[in-house]
């Protein structure tokens, strides 16, 4: 069963960091180039911190249910940009040969 968020996922004005859940991609299909810090990416990082606080881990699922029960997944571009920036560890495939989790480069626990 997917994780149910206990917070409202933040979006930057006019920019989405979530997509409808669907088929997951393999790590080699994440192709976005490095990018500057934008309001969209900043919102994405804040959401990752909130998610880490909720699950009590630096390893986070990329798919989950929002507060209204919708199945969503993290935007692949935001994930790849976070990897380039060193916010998350290298994106890797699960045993299912797709990316199911990402891992923060630091421990969110106090």
The domains of the chain are located at 18-103
Query: What whole-number distance in Å separates Cα of residue 53 and Cα of residue 104?
Result: 12
Going residue by residue through the chain (110 aa), what tens digit of pLDDT does each one get? Answer: 789 999 999 999 889 999 999 899 999 999 999 999 999 999 999 999 999 999 999 999 999 999 999 999 999 999 999 999 999 999 999 999 999 999 999 887 66
Chain length of the chain: 110
Query: What whole-number distance in Å separates Cα of residue 88 and Cα of residue 95?
Result: 19
Strand-strand pairing, 59-61 and 101-103: antiparallel
Residue 110 pLDDT: 63
Map the chain to HEC letters: CCCECCCCCCCCCCCCCEEECCCCCCHHHCCCCCCCCCHHHHHHHHHHHHHHHHHCCCEEECEEECCCCCEEEECHHHHHHHHHCCCECCCCCCCCCCCCEEEECCCCCC
């Amino acid at each position: 069963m997917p994780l149910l968020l206990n917070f409202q996922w933040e979006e930057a004005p006019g920019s989405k960091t979530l997509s409808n859940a669907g088929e997951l991609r393999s790590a080699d299909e994440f192709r976005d180039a490095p990018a500057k810090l934008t309001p969209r990416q900043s919102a994405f990082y804040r959401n990752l911190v909130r998610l880490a606080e909720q699950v009590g881990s630096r390893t986070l699922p990329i798919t989950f249910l929002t507060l209204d029960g919708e199945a969503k997944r993290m935007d692949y571009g935001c994930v790849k940009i976070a990897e380039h920036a060193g916010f998350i560890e290298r994106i890797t495939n699960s045993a299912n040969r797709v990316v199911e989790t990402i891992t923060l480069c630091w421990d969110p626990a106090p």
